[in-house]
Amino acid sequence: MSRVCIVLPSATYRARDYVDAARGLDLDLTVVSEEPQLLLEGDDFLKVDCAEPEAAADQIARLHARAPISAVLAADDQGVLIASLAARAIGLPHNPPEAVAATKNKVMLRRALRESVRQPIYQVLERGDDADDVASDVGYPVVMKPLSLSGSRGVIRADDAKEARAAERRIRRILLRTDGNPNDPLLVERYVPGIEVAVEGVLVKGELTVLAVLDKPDPLVGPFFEETIYTAPSRLHPEMLDEIATTVQTAVTALGLKVGPVHAELRLDGAAVVLIEIAARPIGGLCGRALRFGLLRSSLETVLLRTATGRPTRGLRRQDPGVGVMMIPIKNRGILRQVSGQQSALRVPWITSVDISIPRGSFVEPLPEGDRYLGFIFAAAPHPSDAEEALREAHRRLTIEIEPASTSSD
């Protein structure tokens, strides 16, 4: 029986999905994390410090010596470098660590892809630089970002000098709260108008298979960039979908990525496809549950594990004519007291599941400071537009009670 290692952060939503996928494929699974997430014993759990990738990779390599491992995967950005280093040490197919590092640092990514794909115009804002000077050189409106945070955390649009300076101060406070370095450089990009899509794919020997292109029907115009709804299949023209796939393939080739999941975010500025982000990991949160593949309706995690262990994936095309997921947004900062109306939401035609992932009594806050959603609503319908409308109606039926907390003023 093959053994796979999945590097999962302690706060992940996804441990159960990977465990279920591994059991369905008759794989031994080792969860690699900072704290146990399941009732696992022996080699089924390996405690590591995710902040020390080299040491964590060495621990995985030592595990391999007594319990051979056939693949190492990462569920999110925190684990991708660990997985790369561990697979290299063991002698398994892997992404080069320098390629993975570039996907985790927004400036490194921009520089690595400078000659290969269309990207936003950008400059680096160093501590002590005037934010307006840098933003003016880039050209307003701009989007300001920390280099290493993900999920739109700390990402703020600025339309003028006052907003640019306020955005810099706010982002540096966010970095301080997340144990980052508030003196780190920031990325300042020219805002790219147009619709945004996400691409979910998998690499084998450097060749990209697009598993899904997901539309984002809610406009992402700022000042913050909270994602809400994904639907698939994309309603874009096939020629545009081909251009999107070509752009992502060109990007992963330029970076040197070879194996495993790929998640990319792109904007369509007229006919131009502009790469915003690319990561060597799958889609975040529970969003992957919206996707099912093949006649057996295999999960995304199953497809990734099949690919990682060299099993055939032919015929694993995405199923369902229209699917969608809504990441339930957090509207204000405070204590979550109650979410009611789930049963009413489940009665909406085409809604398949409503999952509230944050316990009552938890402190919650929206982007750009927040890093979680209240939960996820899923739909499967005859057409993606039906799934989209079902998600909106289900969300309208929820009553979310958050006891407000004071907010700091800029």
Same-domain pairing of 82 and 23:
yes
Q: What is the pTM of this model?
A: 0.93
| pLDDT for res 313 | 73
State whether 9 and 93 are in the same domain: yes
At residue 267, the pLDDT reads 98
DSSP characters over 295-334: TTTEEHHHHHHHHHTT---TT--B-SSEEEEEEEPP-SSE
Average pLDDT on 336-352 reads 97
Tell me, yes or no, whether 342 lies in a domain: yes
Whether residue 22 lies inside any domain: the answer is yes
Q: Give pLDDT, residue 312.
A: 78
Spatial separation of the C-alpha atoms in residues 143 and 155, rounded to whole Å: 7
Please report, for the domain that includes residue 159, its CATH number. 3.30.1490.20
Per-residue pLDDT of 56-96, as tens digits, reads: 999 999 999 988 999 999 988 889 999 999 999 999 999 99
Q: State the pLDDT at residue 311.
A: 86
Angle (CA) 395 400 403, round 5°: 155
Does residue 409 lie in a domain region?
A: yes
Residue 407 confidence (pLDDT) above 60: no
How would residue 38 be classed by pLDDT, with cut points 50, 70 and 90?
A: low
In a domain? residue 385: yes
Domain residues for 181?
A: 121-190
Q: What mean pLDDT do residues 247-276 have?
A: 97
- Tell me, what's the pLDDT at 39? 46
**Mean predicted lDDT score pLDDT of the chain:** 92
The H or E element containing residue 398 is none
What 8-state DSSP symbol labels residue 25?
T
Helix, strand, or coil (residue 249): helix
pLDDT for 230: 98
Are 88 and 32 within one domain?
A: yes
Q: Are residues 58 and 144 in the same domain?
A: no
Lowest-pLDDT range of 95-104, 238-247, 313-322? 313-322
**pLDDT per residue as tens digits for the range 316-342:** 667 778 999 999 999 999 999 999 999
Is the residue at 135 inside a domain? yes
User: Cα separation of 160 and 151, whole Å?
Assistant: 24
pLDDT at position 221: 96
Please, which pLDDT band fits residue 149 given cuts at 50, 70 and 90? confident
Summarize the confidence of residues 240-257 as an average pLDDT.
98
- 92 and 8 in one domain? yes
Token digits for 400?
Answer: 């979310």
Q: Which of 172, 190, 208 is the last residue of a domain?
A: 190
Residue 141 lies in a domain: yes
**Does residue 98 share a domain with residue 21?**
yes
Q: Does 284 have pLDDT greater than 50?
A: yes
pLDDT interval class at 41 (50, 70, 90): very low
For the chain, give the percent of residues with pLDDT over 90: 79
- 403 with 337, same domain? yes
Distance CA 125, CA 10 (A): 32
Give the per-residue pLDDT at 387.
Answer: 98
- 178 Cβ contact partners less than 8 Å away, ≥ 6 residues apart: 149, 153
pLDDT at 1: 64
Total domains, the chain = 3
At which of 171, 190, 209 does a domain end? Answer: 190
